[in-house]
Amino acid sequence: MSVDHEIVLPCTFVIFGATGNLASNKLLPALYHLEVAARLSESLSIVAFARRPWSDEEWRTHMREVLGSKVKGSLDTPVFQRFIARFRYQQGDLNNVASYQALADRLPPESACSSTVFYLAIKPAEFSAVIHNLEAVGLNKPRGLNRVVIEKPFGEDIESARVLNQLLHQNFGEEQVYRIDHFLGKETVQNLLVFRFANTLIEPLWNRNFIDHVQITVAESIGIEKRADYYDRAGALRDMLQNHLMQLLTVVAMEPPPALEADALRDEKVKVLRSIRPIAKRAVHAHAIRAQYARGNVEGQPVLGYQEEENVEPNSITETYVAAKFYIDNWRWRGVPFYLRTGKRMKHQTSMIAIRFRHPPQQLFRETPLESIEPNWILLSIQPDESMRMEIHVKQPGLDMDTRMMQMNASFLKTDEETLDAYETLLLDVIEGDRSLFLRFDEVEWAWRVVDPILKHWTVERDYIPTYAAGSWGPADSNRLFDNDDQTWRNEL
């Protein structure tokens, strides 16, 4: 990917919320794997900012415990010793400006280091305090060099997103802001651009003349993982569909950009979001459904229902599953439904883009045992396995005209190759100043505009929410979104 501006490598990487789940499960393992791959500059130091009254040595002990079960290979290596030697620990309160002054005093002077990354691995409700306090002690300067990384969700609705963006722009330049969506760092998602635009046999088929519909599924087998304080206010629509799934939709549907540059890519994605047909208030029921998981069995183990989870509000109607249908009114996609769904406590953990082609226009085989032919699919698996497959018909051996479906696997990894994790890719891009895979605010704003009618409709429907059994593929009622009887959810590769 191309870089927006002249590369200025940071010499300090600050993690706010360093003892939280995001840092422990994603950021620290990703940074360590970049160390193993020798992708971090020798001069880069890392500051862990958190509440606990620890020394540097106590923090490093914590790191060893956290990373022991999450990284590949042994930690008793010179590489791990080099990695933990990069770290310093800074005790602080996110709401106390004195803590930021103490942080500033530990950073290298501006004459020695011209760039610092501030990663906000914290609750969205705490973003405002951190941004204000960074500005109060001058850590938002020099503008254009110091960088702030914001995790999703970016706001709770379109109004709060605009307020947060205004706050950011009062204290940071747009080129300093990295709005992260880790799905865009997935190898399959990036490879989709190559699959579409570098293969002349694919791109001519990628339109309403050949494609019947598109499905985007992000299913999680886990529950809310003790995140009720956040999740019970957010729900699946805000937590997943408005950001991750909408971003996947834009990558599938976008036009070829003039160049693989950050703004060129984002311009095309915004055009897709602007072309999505608005959902009328009276049509929300026909375009979106929500549900909440009840008791059930996931991978053979009994699990609680959502309302029985720790710290969930009694009689909560927060959705843990959402499915929605969108149309893109442009020359390429007019009339092609895009079905998006995401849920927790589903049967399997999977993220997949499934593209179904139209039926052949001629019933050539009606006088044979093949009274009807299943349509072709392109299947893009994002997790747990990253792969691209195409389903086609071939004739079975024998005298009868019988066929079987074969999958052509366009796996992009050779047997001895490993790929970077999404967070590894994106952290490296932050460090190198490449904003191609990060979100511009107009992308965020238009994604909120798309889902805003659904949010507002559900806000006034507070009496009841349907349920689905944990360990299932969600509520059967989700099938009513389909335009035709021959359309069904694709659950497996």
Per residue in 281-305, pLDDT (tens digit) is: 899 999 999 999 999 998 889 999 9
Whether 244 is catalytic = yes
- With a CB cutoff of 8 Å and minimum separation 6, the contacts of 337 are 213, 214, 325, 326, 327, 482, 483
Q: What is the torsion angle, in degrees rounded to the nearest 10, for the CA atoms of residue 36, residue 428, residue 58 and residue 108? A: 120
DSSP H helices in 4-49: 21-22, 28-36
239, 352, 420 from 46: Cα distances, Å: 29, 35, 20
Question: What are phi and psi for residue 62, nearest 5 degrees?
Answer: -60, -40
Are 247 and 152 in contact, with CB atoms under 8 Å apart?
A: no
Say how far apart CA 472 and CA 222 lie, in whole Å. 12
3-state helix, strand, coil in the chain (%, to 5): 35, 20, 40
Q: What is the DSSP letter of 277?
A: P
Say how far apart CA 352 and CA 188 lie, in whole Å. 10
Amino acid 76: pLDDT: 79
Say how far apart CA 14 and CA 19 lie, in whole Å. 13
> What is the number of residues in the chain?
493
Domain 184-421+436-481, CATH homologous superfamily name and number: Dihydrodipicolinate Reductase; domain 2 (3.30.360.10)
Are 153 and 243 in contact, with CB atoms under 8 Å apart?
A: yes
Q: Which tokens hold the place of 477?
A: 């009622």
Intervals of the chain under pLDDT 50: 1-6
Question: What are phi and psi for residue 362, nearest 5 degrees?
Answer: -115, 130
CB-based contacts of 232-236 (< 8 A; 24+ apart in sequence): 232/311, 232/312, 232/313, 232/316, 232/318, 233/156, 233/318, 234/153, 234/156, 234/318, 235/290, 235/318, 235/319, 235/320, 235/322, 236/290, 236/319, 236/320, 236/321, 236/322, 236/342, 236/343, 236/344
Amino acid 211: pLDDT: 95
297, 305, 355, 469, 470 from 302: Cα distances, Å: 4, 10, 34, 11, 9
Q: Which tokens hold the place of 321?
A: 């599953």
Sign, Cα dihedral of 432, 435, 438, 444: positive
Active-site residue, selected from the candidate residues 33, 213, 244, 287? 244
Degrees to nearest 5, angle at CA 413 with 216 and 380: 10
What pairing do the DSSP bridges indicate for beta strands 296-298 and 337-343? Answer: unpaired
Distance of CA 165 to the CA centre of its chain: 20
SS3 490: coil
pLDDT tens-digit series, residues 413-460: 565 666 667 788 888 888 888 888 888 899 999 999 999 999 999 988
Domain spans, the chain: 12-179, 184-421+436-481
Amino acid identity, residue 13? F
The CATH architecture annotation of domain 12-179 reads: 3-Layer(aba) Sandwich (3.40)
Amino acid 366: pLDDT: 55
